[in-house]
Copies of this chain bind each other. A is one copy, B any other.
Amino acid sequence: MARRSDHSRAELREIIIATGLRHMEEVGFAHFSAREVAKRIGYSIGTIYNVFGSYDGLILAINGRTLALWRDHLVRRLAAASDERLAAAITAYFEFAMRHRHAWAAIYDFRLPEDTAPDEAYQAEVRAIFDTVVAEVRAALPLSRKDEAEGLTRSLLATVHGHCVFAMNRTFAMLGGADPVEAALARVREAVAG
């Protein structure tokens, strides 16, 4: 079908990830299909497995791409923000989740076997987002508390994430409404104020 000369290995990898991400955004993790991705790019299912090793490998590559796009969105929003940078970061968090709900949810819906960890590239993407936020939290902290920045950021990311999850899965709606962004921001402000 497709010829080797059509794409280098790296190009093929790229095409599969891009097509897979598009498919993920359309149907969501539960209905995602590696076969469907193969069909869309005009290769056979076997090729997907040759390139990514397994279904899990493919999903991890797609989720890694989502993380990169998420960080990109965050960085752009921060670049455009002057004051209220923490508010801008939180808003960016929610924005991305809402605009890419399926791809975003896939990051958390997918679970590696308990005894295996994501590859280094994936972990680096996670840490890159973390580092971006740490810088903002540190900047917002008074001098005497700068050393708390990393630990506090872990907790605040979890806080914002929790609000985002409950917003996306309609838990807030079920519990009588709420403004998730506003609430998350309130928690973050309290923590930074100390």
Residue in B163, B170, B175, B176 whose beta carbon sits within 8 Å of that of A159 in the complex? B163
SS of A interface (majority): helix
A190 to B186, CA, bound (A): 11
In contact, A158 and B162 (Cβ under 8 angstroms): yes
In contact, B175 and A166 (Cβ under 8 angstroms): no
A121 at the binding interface (Cβ < 8 Å): no
Point out the residues of chain B lying under 8 angstroms from A175, CB to CB. 126-127, 130, 154, 157
Contact indicator per residue, chain A 165-179, by CB within 8 Å of chain B (1) or not (0): 110011110111010
A159 to B176, CA, bound (A): 17
- Report if A28-B111 is in contact (Cβ < 8 Å); known contacts: A123-B174, A127-B174, A190-B191: yes
10 A-B pairs with CB atoms under 8 Å apart are: A105-B111, A108-B169, A109-B109, A123-B174, A126-B171, A154-B172, A155-B163, A155-B178, A158-B163, A187-B190
